Structure formats: structure tokens, C-alpha cells
Amino acid sequence: MAAGIASTKASQTLLSLAAAFPLLVCVRDTTFSLCRVHGSSMEPNLKHGDILVIRKADFPLLRRQKGNVDESLLEDIHGEDDETKTRRVREYEFQHFMAKEDATVWARWPPWPLRGQIVTYRSPDVYPPHLVIKRVVGVAGQVVETANGIKDVDMNSVWVEGDNAKMSTDSRDHGAVNQKLIVGVAEYCVWPPSRIRKILRKSDDKRAYWM
């Protein structure tokens, strides 16, 4: 009798796990996932073997209310008065963080990163594509000062570079990365234990700006 009860409980547990599996897969594919860092292109901020939590969607209703302005973006606009700067940044934020057709949408894929955030994306110059992790230096519509001159960032694209420039293949080699290739934004480092932390934006690189 006891064996029969144990067998029933085991079956119920397996059924529960089987029912939960599709939900877990959905969360991994659309909301958050884990990513392991390979190589040294993002040192010293990220090291080989670090495991990161990747956010794979934007959540406009949670991120900010319409009309609030990310002050760091104002610094990217050169040669304009404060009112014009604020208007242009609001237009940019509404376009990329709020839905164009419905400002009450709860999530959008893929996320649109801010300058200074670390992103993962599918490599545009390798087939089959593999995941790459770099930092956003410039966003759509900006220009970026590089060693090879000033580069325009196309609409629906971002300019990415590795923190360890000498060991990185990035937008300096393959150009800006289209939004469709972006997988997500790195939010936390969760392994190893000594490096557990939230991954912060690095907004002190002033090479990108709106003309």
C-alpha cells in the first residue's frame, strides 16, 4: 500500500514538472536567460567564466512613465538648447521604450538598450551566428568618434564595442548591429559568488552624440 502511495506521488510530481516545463522554456526564451562569458574582450568588467542574467524584453510600464527623460541622454546632444534636447530625447525614448501603437503594452521584444549598457546579440558576420557580448557605445541616429573617423549609427541599430578594445571584434569591424540581432541586456552577474552584482551602465564614454 505504501509503495502504491509513493508511486502515485512520484507520478504527480512528474506530471507537475512536465506541465511546468513549457512555462520555464517560455520564460527563458522571452523574458530572462543565463549567458556565460567567453574570452577576454569585456575585461576588466566581465571575465571569462562569468555567468550573467540577460533580460530579453523591455517592460515599458515598469521602466518609466511616459515623459520622464533619461538625463544622461541629454549629454549626447551637442549644440542645441535644453528645450530642444529634452524634446529629442523624449521622442527617442517614446519610440524605443514605449509601443508606437499602444503605450500601455507590458513588454516588447527585443529590448532596446541605452548607451553604456552591455548587450548580447547574434553575430552579423559569422555563419552560423553565435552570441556575442559587448557594450553599447552609440544608439540609433547618433554619430560615433572612432580611430577610423566618425561613423553614423543607422536607425534601428546600435554601435557596440568591447571594453578590452585590443581583444575585441565589434562594430569597428562589422559596423552597427541591427536591433533584430539583439538578444538581450545584461542585468546581473550571478557566478562566481565573489563577483555577484548588478551590472551597471557605463556612461562616461562621450564619443557618441546626436548632431
DSSP string, 136-202: EEE-TT-EEEETTEEEE--TTEEEEE-SSGGG--SHHHH-PEEGGGEEEEEEEEEESGGG-EEPPP-
pLDDT in tens, 16-67: 545 544 444 444 445 788 999 999 999 999 999 999 999 988 765 555 444 4
Q: Give me the CATH topology for the region 33-55+109-200+207-211.
A: Umud Fragment, subunit A (2.10.109)
Annotation says 47 is catalytic? no
Q: Which of 11-15, 85-89, 97-101 has the lowest mean pLDDT?
A: 97-101
* Single pTM value for the model: 0.71
pLDDT in tens, 60-72: 555 544 444 455 5
- Mean pLDDT, rounded, of the chain: 75
Specify the domain boundaries for CATH 2.10.109.10 within the chain: 33-55+109-200+207-211
Find the catalytic residue in 7, 33, 40, 41. 41
pLDDT in tens, 143-159: 899 988 899 988 888 99
Find the catalytic residue in 56, 134, 151, 171. 134
Annotation says 9 is catalytic? no
Distance CA 139, CA 97 (A): 13
Nearby residues of 3 by Cβ (< 8 Å), 6 or more positions away: none
